[in-house]
Amino acid sequence: MALADKILAINNDLPIRTDRPIHSGKVRSVYSLTPEDSQRLIEEKGYNLAPDAPLAVMVISDRISAFDCIWHGEKEMNGVPGKGASLNAISNHWFKLFREKNLADSHILDIPHPFVWIVQKAKPLMIEAICRQYITGSMWRAYSKGEREFCGIQIKNELKKDQRLAELLITPSTKGILKGLPGIPEIDDVNITRADMTSNYQALNFKNISDINLYETLLTQGFDVISAELAKLDQIFVDTKFEFGYITDKKGNEKLIYMDEVGTPDSSRIWDGPSYRDGKIIENSKEDFRQLLLNYFPDPDILLNKDRMDERQAIARDTELPEEMLMAVSKTYASIAEKITGEKIGLSENPKTEIIEILRKEYGLIT
Average pLDDT estimate for 19-45: 96
- Residue 283 DSSP one-character state: B
pLDDT digits (tens, 9 = 90+) for 258-297: 999 999 999 999 999 999 999 999 999 999 999 999 999 9
Comparing CA positions, the residue from 150, 102, 145, 113 lying closest to residue 130 is 150
Average pLDDT estimate for 13-42: 96
* Partners of 129 in the β-ladder: 172, 242
Q: Where are the domains of the chain?
A: 3-122+342-361, 124-277
Q: From CA 140, how far away is CA 222, in angstroms rounded?
A: 23
Structural contact between residues 323 and 77, judged by C-beta atoms closer than 8 angstroms:
yes
- The pLDDT of residue 246 is above 70: yes
- The pLDDT of residue 95 is above 80: yes
Q: From CA 104, how far away is CA 322, in angstroms rounded?
A: 42
- Strands 268-272, 320-321: pairing is unpaired
Q: How many CB atoms lie within 10 A of CB 39?
A: 18
Whole-structure pTM value: 0.94
Residue 273 CB-density burial (10 A; 0-12 exposed, 13-18 middle, 19+ buried): middle
| pLDDT value for 3 | 87
Q: From CA 42, how far away is CA 109, in angstroms rounded?
A: 10
Cα Rg for the chain, rounded, in angstroms? 21
Q: Three-state SS for 24? A: strand
- Which pLDDT band holds residue 250 (cuts at 50, 70, 90)? confident
Count how many residues are written for the chain.
Answer: 367
The contacts of residue 351 (CB under 8 Å, 6+ apart) are 6, 7, 8, 84, 113, 115
Residue 176 half-sphere exposure toward CB, CA atoms < 13 A = 12
| Continuous segment of H or E residues that includes residue 117 | strand 116-120
Q: From CA 64, how far away is CA 326, in angstroms rounded?
A: 9
pLDDT digits (tens, 9 = 90+) for 51-75: 999 999 999 999 999 999 999 999 9
Beta strands (DSSP E) in 208-346 are: 235-248, 254-259, 268-272, 320-321
Same CATH fold assignment for domains 3-122+342-361 and 124-277:
no
Structural contact between residues 211 and 225, judged by C-beta atoms closer than 8 angstroms:
no
- Which pLDDT band holds residue 248 (cuts at 50, 70, 90)? confident
Comparing CA positions, the residue from 252, 233, 249 lying closest to residue 339 is 233
Q: Give the class (CATH, top level) of 124-277.
A: alpha beta
Q: From CA 42, how far away is CA 57, in angstroms rounded?
A: 13
Beta strands (DSSP E) in 176-326 are: 235-248, 254-259, 268-272, 320-321
- The pLDDT of residue 108 is above 80: yes
| Continuous segment of H or E residues that includes residue 155 | none
pLDDT digits (tens, 9 = 90+) for 292-351: 999 999 999 999 998 999 999 999 999 999 999 999 999 999 999 999 999 999 888 899
Q: Three-state SS for 243? A: strand
Q: From CA 232, how far away is CA 340, in angstroms rounded?
A: 10
pLDDT digits (tens, 9 = 90+) for 134-156: 999 889 999 999 999 999 999 99
| pLDDT value for 60 | 97
CATH architecture of 3-122+342-361: 2-Layer Sandwich (3.30)
What's the one-letter identity of residue 72? H
Structural contact between residues 63 and 288, judged by C-beta atoms closer than 8 angstroms:
no
The contacts of residue 234 (CB under 8 Å, 6+ apart) are 272, 273, 274
Q: From CA 199, how far away is CA 196, in angstroms rounded?
A: 5
The contacts of residue 94 (CB under 8 Å, 6+ apart) are 222, 225, 226, 262, 263
Burial 191-222 (b: 16+ CB within 10 A, else e): bbbeebbebbbeebbbeeeebbeebbebbeeb
Q: From CA 224, how far away is CA 243, in angstroms rounded?
A: 16
- The proportion of the chain whose per-residue pLDDT surpasses 90, expressed as a percent, equals 89
- The pLDDT of residue 1 is above 70: no
